[in-house]
Structure 1
Amino acid sequence: MSAVQSLIAAHRNGENVGLYSICSSNEQVLLASMQVAKRYDTVLLIEATSNQVDQFGGYTGMNPVQFRAYVEALAQAHGFPAERLILGGDHLGPNAWQKLPAEQAMAHARDLIAAYVAAGFHKIHLDCSMSCAGDPHPLPDEIVAARSAELARIAERTAAEASLPPPVYVIGTEVPVPGGEASLEGGLAVTTPAAAARTLEIHRQAFAAPDLAPAWERVIALVVQPGVDFDHSQVHGYAPAAATALSDFVESQPRIVFEAHSTDYQTEAALHALVRDHFAILKVGPAATFAYREALFALAAIENELLPEAERSHLPEVLDRCMVEKPKHWQNHYSGDAAELRLLRGYALSDRCRYYWGESEVRAAVDRLIANLRRHVPPMILLSQFLPEQQRAIEAGALTADPLALVQHRIALRLGEYARACARNQAGARSGNETSAASALSER
């Protein structure tokens, strides 16, 4: 039994534990996540999405083997135990090739699954929900399940041929739009128990072939909508009462838990409540890079106070200029006049600026910012103004004023909320206010 299966089994046996998933390739986010996992003694699940990492490189320029090498090199360099590192693949299927005919798109998806599993990715989210060219809209559940089973068969064979532990699977696709909704104005519907039951049964039938029976026993989670999401400027918080029927339903199902996507920006009390209510796998992505951007912008504000204009990095301006010149990652998501678009590019909760940190001019501005603040160490008065939580940690002797340490600390504050919600024996780790909030949420 793998570490993931053990955690899920412990949850199903009544332990208040869960599994948080870091969906990011950002180096500072990954380093912060390693610090958090060590502090709270948890495993570290890092997931790559199908558009981020694929057999052709994805938008990160990395295939699965390269992504694994990248993460493992970070772990080794910073003393994170390799045995506590787990890799997963999110939304694996024909997502990136929806404009192609179904058979061509699925051929790419088959290669994608094989590449992930051969590279040692253990947790596999099978997602064939999207219609390809020539497919009906929406795609019937039976076709979704059949295509998912086809990919599972390839995953099973690939793992066996590579003498790797067999993967664990997540099924289901009733999820928010990756990266958050464009708008929450239309409301948010919680998955019904009937819909969850139908998804499970149709997939069970699709996995009924003898060669897939062992794979079905390793389906650990079903993706559902528990009533959490965010758009560019607001968050739909978890309301336990609205999800009572759904969380009660999973108690009657053997072995599985629910996986909750787009949990970014939920309160810590809400995260604890989600785990308690069997949404035991919590995924976080944009909130982590949002914290990264917050920290860098705060450092740029400090830089503006310390250095003459000619010596500054001008990071926020460089980032925005790059986004304007290369709009493909945000232009179909943001709308408004020039002022509104500028605000969204820099500050939207959907954080589409995360796609631009690897651009050469943005990377150079970040490097200049870090170098400037290593030569000109920020005084406490400016840290108190722009990074007050980090300033208090420095005063307590728990943090240095190195700019990258400040950035990682800011990210770790967000990720720590997930670790405390999922880790064993963390009920007493929250502040009084957080404990009170969690108690309020427990009133169902």
Structure 2
Amino acid sequence: MHKSYLTDIANWHNGSGAKGIPSICSAHPLVIEASMLHALKQDAYLLIEATCNQVNQDGGYTGMTPADFRAFAEDIAQKVRFPIEKLILGGDHLGPNPWKHLPADEAMAKACTMIEAFARAGFTKLHLDTSMGCAGEPVALPDALTADRAARLAAVAEATLKGSDGVKPVYIVGTEVPIPGGAMEELDELEVTRPDAARETIAVHARAFDAAGVSEAFSRVVGAVVQPGVEYGNENVIPYVPAKARALSATLSDMPGMVFEAHSTDYQTREMLRQLVLDGFAILKVGPGLTFALREAFYGLDQIAEFLFAGKRPETLVATVERILTADPKNWDRYYHGSEAEKRIQRHFSYSDRIRYYWPQPEIDAAIKTLFDLLEGVEIPETLISQYLAGSYASVRDGTVQPNARALALAAVDRVLEDYFQACRA
């Protein structure tokens, strides 16, 4: 088997070029297209990750299996001429989370089937997340049990790939892992992972991998998920404070070959992202921040279309989305609180961006297609871009972004990507 591009990530800080890598956690085709175009422009590798809730053997909320997701990503790569050899696919939060309502034995059996599917489909970065309790268990599990379950999943992946001549996967482990999809409520402050807890995470996983007979695979554990003190709630963002994470960062000197993976880095400033990379958090996961930017573009274009072509559609995109979200609240109602007016704001504009679960919904997808069809071939006036898509105004004026709907949607995502790619060249 060949080595992964990420195998030596801990040594990147010693050389020129990349010091870290953004991890694009999204299944939206426009987000993936924008990411590929940005990486192409920079001649960079691109890491795209599918979360266990998005993509699994049962289809997840996207309806895609791991093999489907690979085909989906490669189709976009072919369309934009992104080199497949520079595409790294990762599986995020691989473990029992989608089935944690089941007893642990059943949930873990499902998780084993899932990681086998990810490994077989050629995903070469596997984040093992077994930190959550299943039915009848406490919410957070003891480190040793978390590590034993993670090692069991690694053993399944290794057995699946035995005899293959492809790229050996690298693994990410951790016991203090944020839940997939972001925080469930407003946050005030987060406790940074203690240095001794970070060291113990690695030690306990090393023992578990050895006990499971996959000690060689542990040599490909390139990172650990820890909490550097960054997160976002529905209405607020907790910024990175380097001083609070200084002791945690220092523990990397005791973990040769490893970096930290930072989850929930969405909405951090470019400078804070850069500081995270400099402090050893070399894998920066971002997802909702990208679809949040895309939603801003969709809603801006919706208002432009309504101004230019009033009454041409039976309802606006915003009206369609509101109708579907209120009729089908399962992806947001546990997360949003307050009065009906407050929940309405959160449904559309929350940092948690749970609206992203609804973009594939047939009526919403059709409404977006109708919006783009209406604006097809339209050169949108600069003044309307200034009013409704102000973030792209300067780029339209200087000619780097074309004043059409598709280019403006991609540009909104690209601005967020630029922060990440620049921060990772710190």
Verify same fold: TM over 0.5.
yes
> Deviation per CA, 1:187-246, whole angstroms, max 9, x where unpaired?
211001011111111111111248412101000000000000000111000000000000
Residues 141/20 of structure 1: CA separation in 2 closer, same or farther (3 Å cut): same
Aligned equivalent of 2:297: 295
- Residue 166 of structure 1 aligns to a residue whose secondary structure is coil
Distance 1:119 1:167 in 2: 12
1:223 is the counterpart of 2:196: no
Distance 2:390 2:140 in 1: 49
Stretch of structure 1 that moved more, 364-373 or 309-318? 309-318
Q: 2:115 aligns with which of 104, 113, 116?
A: 113
Residues 266/136 of structure 1: CA separation in 2 closer, same or farther (3 Å cut): closer
Aligned equivalent of 1:320: 322
Stretch of structure 1 that moved more, 219-228 or 355-364? 355-364
- The 5 Å alignment of 1:68-147 reads 68-147=70-149
Kept in 1: contact 2:9–2:258 (CA 8 A): no
Distance 1:376 1:15 in 2: 40
> Deviation per CA, 1:263-316, whole angstroms, max 9, x where unpaired?
000000000000000001000000000001000001111112211224365001
Stretch of structure 1 that moved more, 370-379 or 398-407? 370-379
Distance 1:178 1:35 in 2: 26
Kept in 1: contact 2:175–2:201 (CA 8 A): no
Q: What is the letter of the counterpart of residue 414 of structure 2? A: A
Q: What is the letter of the counterpart of residue 295 of structure 2? A: R
Aligned equivalent of 1:29: 31
Unaligned runs of 5+ in 1: 428-444
Cα deviation for residue 395 of structure 1 reads 2.6
Q: 2:419 aligns with which of 413, 417, 431?
A: 417
Aligned equivalent of 1:333: 335
Residues 186/265 of structure 1: CA separation in 2 closer, same or farther (3 Å cut): closer
> Deviation per CA, 1:98-128, whole angstroms, max 9, x where unpaired?
1111111111111111000000000000111
Aligned residue pairs, count: 424
Cα deviation for residue 390 of structure 1 reads 2.2
Distance 2:38 2:85 in 1: 16
Q: What is the letter of the counterpart of residue 214 of structure 1? A: E
Distance 1:102 1:276 in 2: 39
Distance 1:137 1:313 in 2: 43
Distance 1:416 1:262 in 2: 17
1:401 is the counterpart of 2:403: yes
Kept in 2: contact 1:178–1:262 (CA 8 A): no
Q: What is the letter of the counterpart of residue 271 of structure 1? A: L
Kept in 2: contact 1:36–1:415 (CA 8 A): yes
Cα deviation for residue 369 of structure 1 reads 0.9
Aligned equivalent of 2:192: 190
Aligned equivalent of 2:277: 275
Distance 1:343 1:136 in 2: 33
- Residue 266 of structure 1 aligns to a residue whose secondary structure is coil
Aligned equivalent of 1:343: 345
- Residue 197 of structure 2 aligns to a residue whose secondary structure is helix
Aligned equivalent of 2:41: 39
Stretch of structure 1 that moved more, 304-313 or 210-219? 304-313
Kept in 1: contact 2:125–2:169 (CA 8 A): yes
- The 5 Å alignment of 1:157-306 reads 157-209=159-211, 211-306=213-308
Report the aligned-residue RMSD.
Answer: 1.7
1:357 is the counterpart of 2:359: yes
> Deviation per CA, 1:168-190, whole angstroms, max 9, x where unpaired?
00000313333322334452110
Aligned equivalent of 2:381: 379
Aligned equivalent of 1:52: 54
Aligned equivalent of 2:68: 66
Q: Identity rate of aligned residues, in percent?
A: 45
Q: What is the letter of the counterpart of residue 374 of structure 2? A: N
TM-score (norm. length: structure 2):
0.96
> Deviation per CA, 1:366-417, whole angstroms, max 9, x where unpaired?
1111111125432111112112342322232222222111100110100111
Q: What is the letter of the counterpart of residue 178 of structure 1? A: P
Cα deviation for residue 139 of structure 1 reads 1.6
Distance 1:252 1:28 in 2: 40
Stretch of structure 1 that moved more, 278-287 or 243-252? 243-252
> Deviation per CA, 1:307-358, whole angstroms, max 9, x where unpaired?
1224365001100110000100001111111111111101000001001111
Q: What is the letter of the counterpart of residue 6 of structure 2? A: V
Distance 1:220 1:385 in 2: 46
Distance 2:163 2:121 in 1: 12
Stretch of structure 1 that moved more, 316-325 or 394-403? 394-403
Kept in 1: contact 2:192–2:245 (CA 8 A): yes
Residues 346/13 of structure 1: CA separation in 2 closer, same or farther (3 Å cut): same
Residues 212/12 of structure 1: CA separation in 2 closer, same or farther (3 Å cut): farther
TM-score (norm. length: structure 1):
0.92
Residues 382/126 of structure 1: CA separation in 2 closer, same or farther (3 Å cut): same
Q: What is the letter of the counterpart of residue 352 of structure 1? A: R
Q: What is the letter of the counterpart of residue 355 of structure 1? A: Y
Distance 2:151 2:45 in 1: 28
Distance 2:121 2:271 in 1: 36
Distance 1:391 1:296 in 2: 15
